[in-house]
Structure 1
Amino acid sequence: MIKAVIDIGTNSVKLCIGNVIEGKVTILKDINEVTKLGEGMQYSGFLREVAIKRTILCVNNYVNEAKDAGAVDITIVGTMAIRTAKNVIDFEKRLKELTNIDLKIISGAEEAHLSFLAVLSGFPEVEKSRVVTFDTGGGSTEFVFGDYGSITREMSINVGAIRLTEKYFTEAPISKDKLNLAQAAIEREISEYGVSEEGAVLIGMGGTLTTMAAIKAQMEIYDAQKVQGSKITLGEVISQIEDFASKSIEERSTILGLNPARASIILAGACIVCATMNLCNAKEVLISDRGLRHILLTEPIRTQDKNQWKREYTKE
Structure 2
Amino acid sequence: MAAIDCGTNSIRLLVADLPEPSAGPDAGLVDVVRRMEIVRLGQDLDRTGWLAPEALERTRRVLIGYATRIESLGVARVRMCATSASRDAQNAGEFRSMVVDTLGVEPEVVTGDEEARLSFIGAVRGLGADVAAPYLVVDIGGGSTEFVVGGRPTGGGAADVDAAVSVANGDAAVSVAAVDAAVSMDIGCVRMTERHLHGDPPTPEEVAAAEAEITAVVDRALSAVPGREAATLIGVAGSVTTVVGIALGLPEYRPDRIHHARLSYAEVAKATADLLARSVAERLTIPVMHPGRADVIGAGALILRIIMERAGMTSVIASEHDILDGIAWSLAQTSG
TM-score by shorter chain over 0.5: yes
1:15-94 counterparts in 2 under 5 A? 15-20=13-18, 25-94=29-98
Q: Does the CA-based 8 Å contact 1:122-1:288 persist in structure 2? A: no
Find the partner of 2:276 among 197, 221, 245: 245
For 2:130 and 2:123, locate their aligned partners in 1 and report how far apart those are by CA, in whole Å: 9
For 1:267 and 1:75, locate their aligned partners in 2 and report how far apart those are by CA, in whole Å: 31
Find the partner of 2:285 among 254, 259, 264: 254
Question: Deviation per CA, 1:233-281, whole angstroms, max 9, x where unpaired?
Answer: 2111111111112211111111111112101100000011011101111
Question: Deviation per CA, 1:71-93, whole angstroms, max 9, x where unpaired?
Answer: 23222221111122111111111
Counterpart amino acid of 1:182?
A: A
| Segment of structure 1 superposing worse, 293-302 or 160-169 | 293-302
Tell me the CA shift for residue 185 of structure 1.
Answer: 3.2
Partner of 2:4: 6
**Pair 1:127–1:174, CA change in 2 (3 A):** closer
Partner of 2:104: 100
Tell me the CA shift for residue 5 of structure 1.
Answer: 1.2
Question: Deviation per CA, 1:185-211, whole angstroms, max 9, x where unpaired?
Answer: 321222133355045211110110111
Partner of 1:138: 142
SS in 2 for 1:169: coil
SS in 2 for 1:296: helix
Partner of 2:184: 156
Question: Deviation per CA, 1:157-177, whole angstroms, max 9, x where unpaired?
Answer: 111111100111011112345
SS in 1 for 2:75: coil
SS in 2 for 1:171: coil
For 1:89 and 1:189, locate their aligned partners in 2 and report how far apart those are by CA, in whole Å: 29
Q: Does the CA-based 8 Å contact 1:12-1:35 persist in structure 2? A: yes
1:300-311 counterparts in 2 under 5 A? 300=331
Question: Deviation per CA, 1:5-28, whole angstroms, max 9, x where unpaired?
Answer: 111111000111112355762112
Find the partner of 1:284 among 293, 315, 318: 315
Tell me the CA shift for residue 127 of structure 1.
Answer: 8.3
**Pair 1:65–1:126, CA change in 2 (3 A):** farther
For 1:265 and 1:104, locate their aligned partners in 2 and report how far apart those are by CA, in whole Å: 26
For 1:177 and 1:156, locate their aligned partners in 2 and report how far apart those are by CA, in whole Å: 27
2:200 matched to 1:172?
A: yes
Q: Unmatched 5+ residue regions in structure 2?
A: 22-27, 154-177
Q: Does the CA-based 8 Å contact 1:127-1:147 persist in structure 2? A: no
Tell me the CA shift for residue 181 of structure 1.
Answer: 4.3
TM-score using structure 1 length: 0.88
Partner of 1:184: 212
User: Which of the two has greater strand per residue?
Assistant: 1
For 1:64 and 1:96, locate their aligned partners in 2 and report how far apart those are by CA, in whole Å: 14
Q: Does the CA-based 8 Å contact 1:6-1:59 persist in structure 2? A: no
**Pair 1:21–1:14, CA change in 2 (3 A):** same
2:249 matched to 1:218?
A: yes
2:120 matched to 1:116?
A: yes
Partner of 1:312: none
CA RMSD of aligned residues (A): 2.3
For 1:223 and 1:69, locate their aligned partners in 2 and report how far apart those are by CA, in whole Å: 26
Counterpart amino acid of 1:13?
A: I
Q: Does the CA-based 8 Å contact 1:138-1:161 persist in structure 2? A: yes
Counterpart amino acid of 2:72?
A: D
SS in 1 for 2:8: coil
Partner of 1:233: 264
TM-score using structure 2 length: 0.83
For 1:6 and 1:60, locate their aligned partners in 2 and report how far apart those are by CA, in whole Å: 13
SS in 1 for 2:307: helix
Partner of 2:172: none
Q: Does the CA-based 8 Å contact 1:145-1:151 persist in structure 2? A: yes
Tell me the CA shift for residue 98 of structure 1.
Answer: 2.2
Question: Deviation per CA, 1:31-68, whole angstroms, max 9, x where unpaired?
Answer: 20111001110112110111011011111211212222
Counterpart amino acid of 2:83?
A: T
